Amino acid sequence: MDIIRISLEDIKYATDNFSDEKCIGRGAFGKLFKGQLRHANGHKIIAAKRLNTMNGEGVRDFFLELKILLKFTHRNVIGLEGYCDEMGEKIIVYEYAPNSSLDNLLNDASLTWKKRLEIGIDVASGLDFLHGGVLRREMVLHRDMKSSNILLDRNWKAKIANFGLSLISPNIQDTNYVIEEDPAGAGYIDPAYLKTHTISKAADIYSFGVVLFEILCGRLAIPTGVDVQDKEQYLGPLAKNFHEKNKLQEFVFEGIKEQIVPQSLSTFADIAHKCLHDDWHQRPTASEVVAQLKEAKEFQVSFVVAQKLHSLLELILVKKTYI
């Protein structure tokens, strides 16, 4: 593979021999470590995913993710720094995203509505690229779209990460696959998949629709305290129900509610709702989501600019009356 092969010795040095203090994430895949990797100009902060190779899936996921990150490079897909494949270890080294993952910031009021819109646009743009756009001969079905797999770099640009469950496919209209292995996490899985075990771009779009409502409502797909078996209390079905009853305003995160311009809210909510359509043929493409989110941002920015101009004009008029 034409990418940087990093020695196990260098990764051990970077992560203090995979110390618990350097561990920043863990899951079925293994553990994720923050480290300072030596290079010619000093040190570079990286994230190293040490895969669990106790079963064959870890090895498969390792080579699949390397292939995807090598072939599908985009500003909104996490960057690949290198890999290690020695002494039985399988380690992928990524660019480090210092502003954490989106799931940790959903109920943070300092993450403004404008910034949330920009994050949504970033993710939709990355997903549009992975889904092949209009030019690529291959596409990637992510199959695990959720807020914990959206990372934020130092400039708050969103990056799609974690391709262990992904699938590379020819970019053919309405391509779908029957797969028994469940994709995504509870709360994000397309209900149509649970009936047919068929996946397509539309399944990623459903999962992303749930993420959009997480961004708007400031809560996770399965809110704290909700029984995993009680699917009616998942955020997706709840937000969809509130939207259809024209009560979504009641569901918006209190920390940002006063910032949101009505037209921006309705445009954002409408496209998020369409992503959750029961009929997957009626769901928008990622490029259509990008367009609608950009429109929602334009409504927001235009209103704020108009407000500032109005305030400035009022101030000028007040000053003139005293001259």
How far does CA 301 lie from the centroid of its chain? 23
How far apart, in whole angstroms, are the C-alpha atoms of residue 235 and residue 216? 11
Residues 6+ apart with CB under 8 A from 220: 103, 106, 147, 187, 214, 235
- pLDDT at site 1: 47
Q: Helix (H, G, I), strand (E, B), or coil: what is residue 49?
A: strand
Distance CA(269)–CA(251), nearest Å, equals 11
Q: What is the pLDDT along the chain (323 residues), one digit of tens a residue?
A: 457 899 999 999 999 999 999 999 987 788 999 999 987 677 899 999 999 877 666 788 899 999 999 999 999 999 999 999 999 999 999 999 999 999 999 999 999 999 999 999 999 999 999 999 767 789 999 999 999 999 999 999 999 999 988 999 888 766 666 665 656 588 999 998 888 888 889 999 999 999 999 999 999 999 888 888 888 889 999 999 999 999 999 999 999 999 999 999 999 999 999 999 999 999 999 999 999 999 999 999 998 777 776 566 666 766 666 66
Q: Which candidate, 175, 140, 170, 6, places its Cα nearest to that of 69?
A: 140
* Cα gap 142→145, rounded to integer Å: 6
HSE, CB side, 13 Å, CA atoms: give it for residue 292.
Answer: 20
Q: Which residues are annotated as a binding site for ATP?
A: 49
Give the DSSP H/E element, type plus range, for residue 266.
helix 262-275
Specify the residue for token string 């570079």.
Answer: 44
What's the rounded Cα separation, in Å, for the pair 204 and 206?
Answer: 5
**Euclidean distance between CA atoms 285 and 174, whole angstroms:** 11
Residue 61 confidence (pLDDT): 84
Element (H, E) at 48: strand 42-51
**Six-digit token string for 59:** 């090895």
Give percent of the chain above pLDDT 90. 72
Clarify whether 144 is annotated catalytic: yes
Q: What is the pTM of this model?
A: 0.91
Query: Do residues 144 and 165 lie in contact, with contact meaning Cβ atoms separated by under 8 Å?
Result: yes
- Structural domains in the chain, sorted by start: 8-95 (3.30.200.20), 102-305 (1.10.510.10)
In the annotated binding site, the residues are 49
pLDDT given for residue 80 in this prediction: 96
List the catalytic residue out of 61, 128, 144, 204: 144
Cα dist. 238→60, 248, 258, 277 in Å? 36, 10, 22, 13
pLDDT of residue 53: 76
Neighbours of 241 (CB within 10 A): 13
Say if residue 238 is exposed, middle or buried (CB neighbours under 10 Å; 0-12, 13-18, 19+): middle
199 SS3 class? strand
